[in-house]
Amino acid sequence: MNKKRIYLDYASTTPLDKEVFEAMKPFFSENFENPSSLYTGGVSAKKAVADARKSIGGEFGVRAEEIIFTSGGTEANNMALLGVFRSAKKKISKPHVITSVIEHPSILEVCKQIEKEGGEITYVPVSENGIVNPKDIAKVLQKNTILVSVMYANNEIGTIQPISEIARLIRQFQKDYGVKIAFHTDASQAANYLPLKVDSLGVSLMTLDGSKIYGPKGVGVLYKKKEVSIEPILFGGGQEVGVRSGTENVPGIVGMAKALEKCAQIRSSESARLTGLRDFLIAEILKKFPKVTLNGDQVRRLPNNVNICFPELDAEFAVIKLDEAGIACSSTSACNNLSENPFSYVIGALPDKKGCERSSLRFTLGRETVKTELDNVLKILSKILN
C-alpha cells in the first residue's frame, strides 16, 4: 500500500496480510496439484484443504465437515438463501423468508430472486440507531417460515445486531409450533472484531469473506449445520460435500484459514486499539462540525466504523475531493456503487435520517491506521467542508 495515502475503507476490502501470503505461496506453483488427484501432489493439496477446514471449524466451534469453501461472501450468501429455499420448495408451496432492510446486496438481491421463484419475503425494519429489534422478527415468524437471515454487523453503519437474542426467539417459536427454521448470519464484517462461536450465536448458517479479514480475495466460507438441508446452486464434480462443485482454490483456502487464525490471535487487542481511534475521530468530527450526526448506534457498533451525516453535503463529490487529497473513504457500500441508485439504502432505512443517504461519509479503520492519519483527515476534511 502506498504509505503517502491514508486508506480508510477497510470495510470495502483489506490488504493481504504478509503472513497469510507466505502461507499461500507454496500452493501457487510448487504444490499446485488438484486435490482430487490420487498421486502424491494431489494428496498433499487435499491435506492442506482438510487442515484449513479443520482450523476454521475450530474457530467456529463446529465440525470440519460443516465448513464449505466458496468463491466469496456473495456466493456463500446465495448458497445459504437459495439453497435452503429450493430445498424447502420441494415440501412447502410458498416458503417464507425473513430478513432486514439493511442487509448486504448479496442478501437483498437473492431475496428478490426467491420471490420470483414463488417464495414469500418479509423485510423487517430497524430502529433509528440501525438495530434490528428481535421482537420484530418474532412477530413475523410463520409456520411456513423456513429461514431467517440477519447480518452480524452492518457493512455501512457498523451496527452490531442482537444475533443470539434473535436465535433464542426463533428456537422458542420452533418449540411452540414444531417447525424447523434455519438461521443465517453474514459475519463478513464481524470476523475481525467479534466472537464467532456458533453455539453462542445460535445460528445454523454463517458467511465469511476472505477479503474482509486480510485474507485473499475470491474465497469465502459458509458454515452449514449438518441438519440443514440445502440444494446446490453449482453443479459439477461434487466437491465440498456435494453442495459446491468446482476444483478447490487451494491457495485461497489455505490463506482463508491463516487469515482467520490471525484474526483470532489479535482480535481483543486490535478491537481495543481501534475503538479508541474510532471514538476519537467521532468526537472530533462532532465537535468541529456541530451540524453533523452519527449514523448508527454509538456503542453497539464495530470498533473500526465511523459513519457521519454531513447535512447538504454531496457525499460522492466529497469522496472524490478526499481522494485527491490522498484519503480513501466511501459514501456507501462498494457493492452498491454499481447499482442504478448508488446512494445508501441502509442510511435511507434509518428513521429521521432523510437526506443523509446522499450526505454521509464512511471511514473504516484497520490494522495500519494510526492517530496521526486521523489528525490529517480532520484537517483535510475541514478544508473541504469549508
Cell of 362: 464512511
List every span in the chain annotated with CATH 3.90.1150.10. Answer: 6-15+267-385
List every span in the chain annotated with CATH 3.40.640.10. Answer: 18-261
pLDDT at 72 over 60: yes
Return the half-sphere exposure (C-beta side, CA atoms, 13 A cut-off) of residue 257. 22
Q: What is the pLDDT of residue 241?
A: 79
Do residues 256 and 112 touch, judged by C-beta distance below 8 A? Answer: no
Beta strands 305-309; 360-364: pairing state:
antiparallel
User: What is the Cα–Cα distance from 30 to 238, expressed in whole angstroms?
Assistant: 26
Per-residue burial over 115-125, b = 16 or more CB atoms within 10 Å of its CB, e = otherwise: eeeebebbebe
Beta strands 182-186; 145-149: pairing state:
parallel
Cell of 316: 460522492
∠ CA(353), CA(358), CA(362), 5° rounding?
Answer: 85
> Between 342 and 358, where is the model more confident?
358
Beta strands 327-328; 360-364: pairing state:
unpaired
Q: What is the pLDDT of residue 334?
A: 55
Q: What is the dihedral of CA 349, 352, 356, 361, to 10 degrees?
A: -80
Amino acid in the structure at residue 204: S
Q: What is the pLDDT of residue 2?
A: 45
Cell of 104: 448486504
Helix axes 250-288, 371-385, angle to 10 degrees: 60
pLDDT at 19 over 60: yes
Question: Using 50, 70 and 90 to split pLDDT, how confident is the model at 339?
Answer: low
- Per-residue pLDDT, averaged over 277-296, amounts to 96
Each residue's pLDDT tens digit, 302-337: 999 999 999 888 999 999 999 999 999 998 755 554
**Adjacent-strand bridge partners of 282:** none
User: What is the Cα–Cα distance from 255 to 243, expressed in whole angstroms?
Assistant: 22
> Between 3 and 2, where is the model more confident?
3
pLDDT at 105 over 90: yes
**Adjacent-strand bridge partners of 362:** 307, 330
Q: What is the pLDDT of residue 117?
A: 96
- Of residues 46, 50, 19, 24, the one with CA closest to residue 35: 46
User: What is the Cα–Cα distance from 131 to 154, expressed in whole angstroms?
Assistant: 9
- Per-residue pLDDT, averaged over 98-114, amounts to 97
**Architecture of the domain made up of 6-15+267-385:** Alpha-Beta Complex (3.90)
Cell of 42: 494431489
∠ CA(51), CA(52), CA(53), 5° rounding?
Answer: 90
Beta strands 67-70; 360-364: pairing state:
unpaired
> E strands along 91-169, which residues?
96-100, 120-124, 145-149
pLDDT at 186 over 70: yes
Beta strands 145-149; 96-100: pairing state:
parallel
Q: What is the dihedral of CA 275, 277, 280, 283, to 10 degrees?
A: -60
Each residue's pLDDT tens digit, 227-246: 999 998 888 777 777 787 67
DSSP string over 74-93? HHHHHHHHHHHHHHHTTT-S
**Adjacent-strand bridge partners of 9:** 364
What whole-number percentage of the chain has pLDDT above 70?
A: 96
pLDDT at 376 over 90: yes
Catalytic residue (one of 263, 309, 329, 335)? 335
Cell of 177: 409450533
Query: Which of 43-52, 103-112, 215-224, 270-279 has the lowest average pLDDT?
Result: 43-52
Do residues 124 and 161 touch, judged by C-beta distance below 8 A? Answer: no
User: What is the Cα–Cα distance from 306 to 295, expressed in whole angstroms?
Assistant: 8
Each residue's pLDDT tens digit, 109-144: 999 999 999 999 999 999 999 999 999 999 999 999
Question: Using 50, 70 and 90 to split pLDDT, how confident is the model at 281?
Answer: very high
Cell of 323: 481522494
Place of cell 429521521: 352
Q: What is the pLDDT of residue 1?
A: 44
Question: Using 50, 70 and 90 to split pLDDT, how confident is the model at 108?
Answer: very high
Q: What is the pLDDT of residue 340?
A: 58
- CB atoms < 10 A from the CB of 328, how many? 17
Amino acid in the structure at residue 356: C
How many residues does the structure list for the chain? Answer: 386
pLDDT at 169 over 70: yes
Q: Does 329 qualify as catalytic in the annotation?
A: no
Do residues 305 and 157 touch, judged by C-beta distance below 8 A? Answer: yes
Q: What is the pLDDT of residue 371?
A: 98
Helix axes 73-88, 105-116, angle to 10 degrees: 30
Each residue's pLDDT tens digit, 152-168: 999 999 999 999 999 99
pLDDT at 3 over 90: no
Question: Please, what CATH class does the domain formed by 18-261 belong to?
Answer: alpha beta
What whole-number percentage of the chain has pLDDT above 90?
A: 82
